[in-house]
Amino acid sequence: MSRAFVKEDDAGEPPLIPPRAALPPGTPNYMTPRGLALLKDELAELEAERTQAEANRDDEANRTRQLTILNGRRSALNERIASAKVVEPQEQPPEEVRFGATVTLRTLKGGKPGTERTFTIVGVDEASVADGLIAFVAPIARSVAGARLGQRVTLRLGRTQEEVEVTAISYAQSIL
């Protein structure tokens, strides 16, 4: 009989543990206080999941695999929490775009002139483009870092280039 049709236990294959958001080598792990709180909440949820998996004795092979994945995720998460450098947005210079800033840009040339976009610069684990939270290592965040209100900045967005003006900078008390 061909081995192609024989069901084999895949316990011999190492489980895949999803990586955390990329942080370039040598780059500090900056995050907002909210970002650190989110990681600690994630760790608590992971611990609850792990406790539940440990209690499940129905399928030992699956239990072992699940615990390996959970332990790997927990280890990566603990590394991120340990390396966190919390930056308090309110302590940033209010007239300059820095970590934690909510920035509004208006397109002057290229793209669609007059278009405005607003985003907040956060840590890599907090980033969510859909929520307007951009990682500080993202090209758009790097392009506007250090800019002041009214300053013009050139953005390279893929193949296009835009000239934008910084129309607002704020450091909100809490992000989202």
Per-residue pLDDT reduced to its tens digit, 100-126 = 999 999 999 988 899 999 999 999 999
For the cut 70, the answer to whether the pLDDT of residue 5 exceeds it is no
For the cut 80, the answer to whether the pLDDT of residue 12 exceeds it is no
Q: For the residues 8-37, what does the mean pLDDT come to? A: 81
Helix H, strand E, coil C: the string for the chain is: CCHHHCCCCHHHCCCCCCCCCCCCCCCCEEECHHHHHHHHHHHHHHHHHHHHHHHCCCCHHHHHHHHHHHHHHHHHHHHHHHHEEECCHHHCCCCECCCCCEEEEEEEECCCCCCEEEEEEECCCCCEHHHCEEECCCHHHHHHCCCECCCEEEEEECCEEEEEEEEEEECCCCCC
Band of the pLDDT at 64, cuts 50, 70, 90?
Answer: confident
49-53, 74-78, 131-135: which has the minimum mean pLDDT?
49-53
Predicted TM-score (pTM) of the model is 0.83
CA distance 164 to 109: 7
pLDDT value of residue 7? 46
Q: Does domain 89-170 have CATH number 3.20.20.80?
A: no
Q: Give the start-to-end residue ranges of the domains of the chain.
A: 23-86, 89-170
Band of the pLDDT at 160, cuts 50, 70, 90?
Answer: confident
pLDDT value of residue 34? 93
For the cut 80, the answer to whether the pLDDT of residue 74 exceeds it is yes
